[in-house]
């Protein structure tokens, strides 16, 4: 296994992100487990300015929904963009420095949350937009390949999110609006679009299939791109946000059914045309697609008038965000296992040990997703029932009733996150073992300029 300090092409840089992703995944799962442990065993663990539930929840959010997503974006940007455009990446040295600077600032932002870092992050992402635009304009293909289109859309959304998050406003209602929009752009726009870019690549190139319909891919891309950023506001139902904005969010959320159906139909029809030699990859892609589809369906269903007052501002919102996150994690893991033979010339064995880590991540992520859905539904129902009965659930008897409903699930999160952490360690071992001692195979040729 050889990693060059200064890579000369996309393949060499992709090797760095192939190794970096499992490491950040371990870090994310470890902090998630630590955060949940400080909730379950609060009386047994030492507390200070860092090791407490609130601070660890903030750190976990930065690592999982920013740093890990940044590594995923970097891998997809470096490897898939040139493949999609049919040529070597233009301005590669600048892209290399930009991506390293982006990930470095994301990590620094976890340690030091300062406005200067936020400013530099915005400038770095703007540079990434410029590099991706130049590459799109310099494409050799007459029509941009679907994966590259999604990556470009995700980079644009990330830039808009970085601009929005830098807004300095004193009025609370405006602050809430900016926070909701920024969260929606990253968690419910960038992450799903990155997931779709990886899916389109793997279900065609990796499975040896032909894309069923370019029209359906365009409908799903533009539909999700323009609808998803607005769908987060509905969860602030009854807050200080304008009623018209909440209503628009509800109607646009219901409209998600159109791009979702286009995406699912395109995947089903395309994957049926596979070469039959990648059944393990196909099963992992199917699992991630099922999780993505369920998450989006629940996101749509929460718009109904009799459900929204119960689900808004609860763990249900976190579960939707986590569902999209889990889908992306699973598909990027699959992409990495596909790339190891292509980049390192080593085969992945898929022995019992390897399958244990992959299955453990799938199981723990889906279980964590379901558990938080249950917490959100039960807590929202108890809050509304208590408020209607004149018995608030934030103290006294009302709080005790609510705790009986969700206490077991909250404690279960600790043990599920522990399983996620252990599975992530096994996955990392699988990646390193395959790269260092897997059976030798042919390395993929570089894209011609």
* pLDDT for the residue numbered 386: 66
CB neighbourhood size of 99 (10 A) = 24
pLDDT > 70 fraction of the chain, expressed in percent and rounded: 92
Q: pLDDT by residue (tens digit) across 253-270?
A: 999 999 999 999 999 999
Please tell me the distance from the alpha carbon of residue 191 to that of residue 154, in angstroms, as a whole number: 8
Contact, 386 vs 310, CB < 8 A?
Answer: no
Q: Is pLDDT larger for residue 18 or for residue 442?
A: 18
Q: pLDDT by residue (tens digit) across 133-147?
A: 998 887 765 555 788
Residue 449 has pLDDT above 60, yes or no: no
Q: pLDDT by residue (tens digit) across 186-195?
A: 989 999 999 9
* Lookup result for tokens 């371990």: 26
* pLDDT for the residue numbered 75: 95
| Residue 11 binned pLDDT confidence (cut-offs 50, 70, 90) | confident
Residue 385 has pLDDT above 90, yes or no: no
Q: What is the largest CA-CA distance in the chain?
A: 70
Half-sphere exposure of 387 (CA within 13 A, CB side): 8
Residue 49 has pLDDT above 70, yes or no: yes
Q: Say which DSSP state 349 is in.
A: -
Record the pTM.
Answer: 0.93
* pLDDT for the residue numbered 262: 96
- Segment 222-248 mean pLDDT: 89
Q: How far apart are the first and last CA of the chain?
A: 26
Q: Which of 359, 373, 380 is nearest to 427 (CA)?
A: 359
| Residue 2 binned pLDDT confidence (cut-offs 50, 70, 90) | low
Residue 320 has pLDDT above 70, yes or no: yes
Tokens of 19: 């190794």
Please tell me the distance from the alpha carbon of residue 218 to that of residue 200, in angstroms, as a whole number: 12
| Residue 276 binned pLDDT confidence (cut-offs 50, 70, 90) | low
Which among 265-274, 413-422, 434-443 has the top mean pLDDT?
A: 413-422
* pLDDT for the residue numbered 401: 67
Please tell me the distance from the alpha carbon of residue 174 to that of residue 116, in angstroms, as a whole number: 22
Residue 307 has pLDDT above 60, yes or no: yes
Fold topology of 10-437:
Cytochrome C Oxidase; Chain A (1.20.210)
Q: Is pLDDT larger for residue 158 or for residue 379?
A: 158
Residue 342 has pLDDT above 60, yes or no: yes
Summary mean pLDDT of the chain:
88
Q: Is pLDDT larger for residue 433 or for residue 240?
A: 433
| Residue 394 binned pLDDT confidence (cut-offs 50, 70, 90) | low
* pLDDT for the residue numbered 96: 92
- Segment 65-69 mean pLDDT: 94
* pLDDT for the residue numbered 405: 77
- Segment 119-145 mean pLDDT: 83
* pLDDT for the residue numbered 447: 59
CB neighbourhood size of 337 (10 A) = 22
Q: CA separation (Å) from 358 to 333, 334, 419, 422?
A: 9, 9, 12, 11
* pLDDT for the residue numbered 255: 95
| Residue 167 binned pLDDT confidence (cut-offs 50, 70, 90) | confident
- Segment 387-416 mean pLDDT: 72
């Amino acid at each position: 296994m050889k990693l060059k300090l200064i890579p000369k092409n996309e393949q060499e840089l992709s090797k760095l992100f192939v190794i970096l992703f499992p490491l950040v995944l371990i870090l994310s799962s470890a902090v998630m487990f630590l955060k949940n442990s400080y909730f379950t065993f609060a009386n047994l663990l030492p507390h200070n300015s860092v090791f407490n539930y609130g601070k660890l929840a903030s750190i976990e959010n930065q690592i999982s929904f920013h740093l890990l997503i940044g590594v995923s974006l970097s891998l997809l940007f470096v490897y898939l963009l040139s493949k999609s455009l049919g040529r070597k990446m233009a301005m590669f040295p600048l892209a290399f420095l930009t991506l390293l600077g982006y990930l470095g600032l994301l990590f620094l932002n976890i340690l030091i949350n300062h406005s200067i870092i936020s400013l530099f992050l915005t400038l770095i992402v703007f540079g990434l937009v410029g590099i991706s635009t130049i590459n799109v304009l310099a494409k050799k293909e007459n029509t941009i390949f679907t994966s590259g289109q999604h990556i470009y859309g995700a980079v644009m959304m990330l830039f808009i999110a970085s601009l929005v998050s830098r807004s300095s406003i004193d009025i609370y209602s405006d602050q809430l609006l900016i926070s909701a929009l920024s969260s929606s752009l990253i968690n419910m726009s960038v992450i799903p679009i990155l997931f779709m870019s990886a899916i389109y690549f793997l279900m065609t190139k990796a499975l040896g299939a032909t894309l069923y319909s370019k029209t359906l891919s365009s409908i799903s891309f533009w539909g999700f791109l323009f609808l998803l950023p607005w769908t987060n506001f509905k969860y602030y139902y009854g807050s200080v946000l304008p009623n018209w904005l909440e209503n628009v969010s509800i109607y646009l959320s219901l409209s998600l059914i159109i791009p979702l159906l286009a995406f699912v139909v395109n995947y089903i029809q395309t994957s049926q045309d596979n070469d039959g030699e990648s059944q393990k990859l196909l099963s992992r892609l199917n699992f991630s697609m099922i999780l993505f589809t369920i998450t989006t369906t629940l996101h749509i269903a929460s718009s109904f008038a009799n459900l929204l007052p119960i689900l808004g501002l609860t763990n249900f919102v976190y579960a939707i965000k986590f569902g999209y996150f889990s889908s992306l994690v699973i598909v990027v893991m699959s992409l990495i296992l596909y790339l190891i033979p292509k980049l390192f010339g080593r085969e992945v064995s898929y022995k019992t040990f390897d399958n244990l880590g992959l299955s453990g991540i799938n199981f723990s992520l889906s279980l964590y997703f379901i558990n938080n859905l249950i917490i959100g539904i039960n807590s929202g129902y108890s809050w509304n029932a208590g408020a209607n009965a004149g018995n608030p659930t934030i103290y006294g008897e009302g709080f005790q009733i609510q705790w009986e409903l969700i206490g077991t699930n909250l404690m279960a999160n600790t043990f599920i996150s522990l399983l996620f952490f252990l599975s992530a360690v096994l996955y990392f071992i699988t990646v390193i073992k395959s790269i260092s001692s897997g059976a030798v195979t042919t390395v993929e040729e570089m894209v011609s300029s």
